[in-house]
Structure 1
Amino acid sequence: MLYRFGQCSVDTSRLELWRAGQRVALEPQVLAVLIHLIENRDRVVSRDELLRHVWGDRIVSDSALSVRVRMARAAVGDDGSAQSVIRTVQRTGYRFVADVEASGSIALGHDLREAHADATEAAHLPLPSEPSIVVLPFQPIGDPSQAGILAQGMTTDVTTGIGRSGALFVIARGTAAQFGGEHDVHDIGRKLGVRYAVRGSVLAAGRRLRISVALTEVESRRELWSERYDEQVDDAMQVQQRIADLLVGSLQVAVERAEQKRSLLLPSANLDAWTAYHRGAAFMFRFRPDECAHAERFFRRSIELDPLAPRAYAGLSFVHYQRVYMGMSHDRDEDALRARDLALQGVAADAFDPMAHWALGRASLLRGEFEASIQELRRATALNPSYAGAHYTLGWVYMLKGERAQADECLELARRLSPFDPLIFAMHIVGALNFALGGRTGEGAALAASAILHPNAHLHVFFAAAVVYALDGQRERARALMGRVRAIAPGYELADFLRVMQFRSPGDLDQLRRAFADLQARAA
């Protein structure tokens, strides 16, 4: 069928869009969205219907559809403001509103063969710009009854966990099951249109269990990350869930790092909303003014390209949060307000995005609204139980409140979920303070020593470590770190630390004051 509207024509047999006499190159998913809207132009097509039509049983976020609609509009000379071709019906879906002339397809003879060749080639899906992944069936080894059940359970739990993260397209388990056994990952990637593949195995021998897993970049067949977990099985379901949560947390960080590296290799002019977000995320946790400026630029670019990109709003919220936290702000109150408002925009764009709720939790913490912060952070961890950053921030709030056991539980879980997290130094220093203020000064000093070695450790981390060392009686190390703090910020005082670390326990505040007084006396 050939559809003509304005300066455009769409030939469904050739799978082609032409505009003003020129063929327009489109990703298959964008063309599928456009054709489905044209063919159903007599009604509003719901977002759910479009998601099912284009992605089938693949689990994708709403923002993926928004990106495809935006690209379809751009291809036909429309945009989100004019909406002269594709109109958004709020809270419902989209409708094709341009006048259309339909006729039989012009593809005849050898053109039909070309169309058939196009359709055959389309069976090998191009890699999308967004992160995409398939969890291949875990392979059982050893006792077939126990290992087989655990392998199926691990495959399900890891697939579900990644899907809940909201950060990745994940192929549904039923589709992935067709690729059990030995298959070349590059071929799997072409057939499913994914960039990453997870392979795993489950070895069961009596009560001993070993789960091995690896993450592979399908295009290059390069293994990006691998891990092995050895467990004693008392409660198989509990062990399965715990390891699945750990796996998902580590996989998310590994994919994020790979996507950031990929985005840094692309020319700035070629960035789309997803790659612009990842370019910004590469600078997000470095806590320096120039890095903040880089992150802000790319997050704003991502939002320009996709106004419904929740993670770009969350990232931009964190930029403003960071400026207040690190004393880089020209107007502290304004930046704190911007951090909250941008996080709220992220939640409005996608209420099911865990990172948007994490950003709102941090913005609330910045404003001293502890209960609101806890509520948002718990929402983030409910949406994604493997979200280490949200568990860590929740532990931080509990530490500031003086609730030791709850803080320790959250911080320990965060460190286990993401041992190579970009914020691991922050997890360590907050844990160090929680230990030291609770009387476990030796354990606190050990975590502090790890925190200050991280390349992204900053002024507040060095000061907190100095306090922890002072509480542990390591006065020379404490003095050396205080000297490092004063070299960076000559006028730094306890009040500067307490402005961003809003301790609520009077007992904790007394300990901090005594430790700082001891540092001051020895420095004199």
Structure 2
Amino acid sequence: MNDESPVHFSPSFSADSRAVFHFGEFTLHCGTREATRHGELIRLERRAFDLLAYLLHQEGRVVTKGELLEKVWFNHFVCDSVIAQCIMKVRKALGDDGQTARVIKTVHRVGYRVGLPVKREGARPEQSVEAGTEGTEAGPQVIWLPTEPPADQESLSWVKTGLLPVAAHVLRSQGISVFQLDPAAPEAAEHPVASGTVRLDAGSTRGEAAGIVTSRLRLDNDVYRFDWQLQLASEEFMGTAQGGSPVELALQAAGEIAPLLRC
């Protein structure tokens, strides 16, 4: 397949085509399709530009390969190696070494994320509460609230929303649908559990959720601690995982939460 074939973004992404992103010494202008480093233009092929733009729109969230295939390649028949090659083109254009990449990070077995703090100009488009489209409506559903990042650790601010796709990857593989609420929504602030279910907001068409997950990440002497809590209608479960990678801890937590939701 020609890597420069037309790109068809989802409506929520294309509607924000005039956004401007600043990340490190780089700036990306979606409206004019220009990327600069210290004000100097950087040449990016069309698909590479679209891939970088999509990752920047996620502002540090881990994006799975499946999501990239859907949103950037529009589910055309391409393999994982095509994504990897496009990532290499972006890194090369930005002068980002793949072994010690700081702009685009590879999250092993999951996908990619932007590794630099992202500052955005322009209003954000309205976001769906759904974290992904995979999974089955017949199985249990859970709301995963943003992870609380370590205080005074700007470099770890990405975990607030960046760990959700990692956890969802595990849960959906076991038939559990995962959703994320807007942190500003009343449901997110109050963590409501009543009458056996957690109800999504009135605008949602996704029905009811069996529970809600809250979590926080701490860093102590280069060791990460991931605390999670699953709140059901009549009981609560808590757990802690420790290690050297937030992503691996989120994977571990999701593996522990899944059987509790399927009981």
Give TM-score, length-normalised by structure 2. Answer: 0.38
Give TM-score, length-normalised by structure 1. Answer: 0.19
Relative contact order higher in (CA < 8 Å, ≥ 6 apart): 2
Q: Which protein has the larger Cα radius of gyration, Structure 1 or Structure 2? A: 1
